[in-house]
Amino acid sequence: MPLVPAPSPAPSLAATRWQGLPPVASAETVVLVLGSFPGAASLRLRQYYAHPQNHFWKILQALWPQHPLPPAGADDHYARRCEWLLARRLGLWDVYESCEREGSLDTAIRNAQVNDFARLHGHCPRLAALAHNGAESFRHAPAALASLESAHPTRIDAVRLPSTSPANASWSFDRKLAAWGELMAAHGLL
């Protein structure tokens, strides 16, 4: 049974401690994209990569142009995008379950609680790679791998990808696309 986001109320903007989003993954997931923690727009909408300037969805659409991404705007567009993502054998989650933060920058994260990656045991038997979306996520690669590999039948790669965040202006869209495409091709997803 796929792990997909369940509807939940948006958090209060006055809260100092933020709760992250649930994993989006299935038994077919080969690559699990791990961000650090959702930005303010994503938390408000309860959707991964909801900020319109984030390159995440644009990069994925560029990798699979033959499979149009459900457009933003419709009431069910996020659920349809999650289905689209799962059909490409990708999953989404974050390294942090909760944290304190003002704004959306990783540098502002304080008192973070790391997700329990063991929750994925048995749910993602084909998992071959953790695609860390940026440096903050990649800091937790050893712990995530140790948790997953303890009950996983095959080796799992951990790869640091350039962040798709608009704050990562040092990488052009084309450079980000090339790096993301290389990982997807290496795992037979292109």
Give the residue from 23, 21, 17, 1 showing the smallest Cα distance to 9: 21
- Cα–Cα distance, 61 to 42 (Å, whole number): 19
- Cα–Cα distance, 124 to 120 (Å, whole number): 6
- Cα–Cα distance, 19 to 119 (Å, whole number): 17
Among 54, 115, 133, 168, the active-site one is 54
- Cα–Cα distance, 121 to 124 (Å, whole number): 7
* 168: annotated active-site residue: no
Catalytically active residues, by annotation: 54
